[in-house]
Chain A
Amino acid sequence: MRIRRFTEPIFESLIKICGYSSGFVVLLIIVFLFKEGISFFGSSPVEEGFTMYVHASNPVKDLSAAQIKDVFDQKITNWKALGGADQPIDFEFLPKCIDSYMDSLPGSLAFFPSAQTDGKLKSAIPIKIDKITVGKFLSDTEWFPTSRPAARMGVMPLLLGTLLVSFFAIIIALPLGLAASIYLAEIADERIRKILKPVIELLAGIPSVVYGFFGLVVIVPLVQSTFNLPVGETALAGSIVLAIMALPTIITVSEDALRTTPRAMKEASLALGASQWQTIRLVTVPYAASGITAAAILGIGRAIGETMAALMVTGNSAIMPPTLLQPVRTIPATIAAELGEAPFGGLHFQALFALGCLLFIITLIINLLVERVSAKRN
């Protein structure tokens, strides 16, 4: 008795500590993610340590990252297009000596290390570059995070790509999953169910890289030959693979929901002369509707957050607007593919964190939806 009086408070406090610390870790991850992600906004798209210079007489005082890239790609060749005088743009990437270069060319634009100018320039002045904002991050349609002189960080193609792939994944997975769960819960023989259910649950445990591999060798060639495409790595291939991956979740969750329909309710329906199919359609499925919705939302969550398989089969190119039969690039795949190459703490690195934040917000919304839907059930 005396020992219990000592041990019980100890166990209680241990359990408390475990609870608090796991909550704290979750909080820490969120804070860390958003700290890195938020510092991305307000920074300049031009690489750190470099500045864009124009001739001192040039009336153009600020440029956006998109304009700089167009100049660099020679889509814009005249200052007139940028709101300046009618003179050609002489773009120089890292000139040998900025002052002498600038002096001779009034229409010049140069990318140069800021440290070498020492602030003693006669003819060149730094031009203001538009800072990255949340609005621009969300609305810009180009994703060239490493392009120089100015990076373009538009999340739109990635976001749309993610939503497209997930949307079609769920369009494929939901009817199949619902049909399979109705079969398992209502129609299948007890013996078949006993075999099939664990097999389907096992599918949920297969690592996503294996699904990606399966997609790469089976789905991708299939999509390519069916639609006669130059490449099979498309949004459609991604959707199919993600649908297969989301299926076990959808099937098991909605099957559990269907099985909560009281037997007495089904018997009442049958006793009134309803056929088995009428009973399923009018009693069982409506009774389990909130559980089935929760299953669908969980499936969407799985598809949106999936990284490895998406990376392997979607072809990873940020085409705008994304379409089903072209390669797309999803947000998680972008983070996974680019994080290793992004210099630690740099602009690109922070941009990927901002992507992470965006993904976090999307999945948070999905989880809140699940909570609401399943709260309605009780």
Chain B
Amino acid sequence: MANKLETIDVHLHYGEFHALKGISLAIPDHSVTALIGPSGCGKSTYLRLFNRMNDLIPYTKITGQVLMDGEDIYKIKSSKIDHLRRTVGMVFQKPNPFPKSIFENVAYGLRVNGISDNSFIENQVEKTLRQAALWEEVKDKLKKSAFELSGGQQQRLCIARALAIEPTVILMDEPASALDPISTGKIEDLIFELKDQYTIIIVTHNMQQAGRVSDYTGFFYLGNLIEFDKTKKIFTNPSKQETENYITGRFG
């Protein structure tokens, strides 16, 4: 399987703080990769490398290479960053719909990318809401504010919003951490369904979740990538002692 994303010796500094210490990792195409590790270990920072979200934080310095389909995304022109972000969808920790209608939330990504064909937008909104398993629940209230939905529905709406612009990679930053078990279950089912079409990276604090949804798992600790392997291997027979300690709950 080809590698969709790859980082080669990436270091990241927030001012004085050395957040990522030389991470080299290749992420296969059409797979789910879970990033685990204790808080502050750098896994979210690592995730945000791939759509250059770290750029928004002042005093950030990045060295090394971040490749997507073999191209270094930190070498592209700054005017092309918007285009990069269009191909990399992101779902955040807390549901963050815009203060707009359900329909406009999903259509937003299309509109800002210059698509004005209304029938295309309508089709795309329905398609992605179906993909996110939300269509049946919201089809009669598309004009209503997104804030009227429950937390779990809002998060699925955010997933639909990310899917609408047809990215190839989806980054998920603890997408279920603010949700109840039933909503979490729905999100996990969704991740499972999406895996065929997308490359998904998910940051999670929930060990069972990582075990359930992912094909590969990377364990981060204090800005280092300790171990990366097939999820099954990591959870049954990790090769590093730290990984085993963390997974079995002895620290972290």
Contact = CB atoms under 8 A, between A and B. Distances in A.
Given A264-B96, A283-B98, A272 B56 contact: no
Contact of B56 (A190, A267, A274, A283): A267
Contacts of B85: 270-273
Contact of B162 (A264, A272, A283): A272
Interface of B: 51, 53, 56, 58, 82-83, 85-86, 88-90, 92-94, 96, 98-100, 108-109, 112-113, 158, 161-162, 165
Given A190-B58, A265-B96, A267-B53, A273 B158 contact: no
15 contacts: A264-B92, A267-B92, A268-B161, A270-B56, A271-B162, A272-B109, A272-B112, A272-B162, A273-B82, A273-B83, A273-B109, A273-B165, A274-B108, A278-B112, A286-B100
A283 to B, nearest CB: 6
A78 interface: no
Interface in A267-322: 267-275, 278, 282-283, 286-287
Nearest to A275: B82
A272 B108 contact: yes
Of A262, A265, A268, A278, chain B has the most CB atoms within 10 Å of the CB of A268
A272 B165 CA distance: 7
B98 A273 contact: no
A274 B56 CA distance: 14
B162 to A, nearest CB: 7
A190 B59 CA distance: 10
A73 interface: no
A286 B99 contact: yes
A273 B82 CA distance: 4
A282 B112 CA distance: 9
Given A269-B98, A272-B162, A273-B86, A282 B108 contact: yes
B15 to A, nearest CB: 11
A118 interface: no
A286 B98 CA distance: 10
Given A189-B58, A273-B165, A262 B86 contact: no
Contacts of B99: 286-287
A38 to B, nearest CB: 46
Top-9 shortest CB links A-B:
A273-B86, A272-B109, A274-B112, A271-B90, A264-B96, A273-B85, A278-B112, A268-B96, A273-B82
- Main SS class of interface, A: helix
A271 B53 contact: yes
Interface in A12-38: none
A271 B51 contact: yes
B96 A262 contact: yes
A268 B53 CA distance: 10
A269 B110 CA distance: 11
A268 B56 contact: no
Contacts of B56: 267, 270
B203 to A, nearest CB: 14
A269 B108 CA distance: 8
A189 B57 CA distance: 11
A185 B136 CA distance: 40
A68 B148 CA distance: 67
Contacts of B89: 271-272
A153 to B, nearest CB: 50
Given A271-B85, A273-B86, A287-B99, 9 more contacts: A190-B58, A264-B94, A267-B56, A268-B96, A272-B108, A272-B112, A272-B113, A272-B165, A274-B82
Given A190-B58, A274-B82, A283-B98, A269 B112 contact: yes
A272 B96 contact: no
A286 B113 CA distance: 19
Nearest to B89: A271
Nearest to B87: A273
Contacts of A283: 98
Contacts of B51: 271
Contacts of A275: 82, 112
B94 to A, nearest CB: 6
B86 to A, nearest CB: 3
Contacts of A264: 92-94, 96
A170 to B, nearest CB: 26
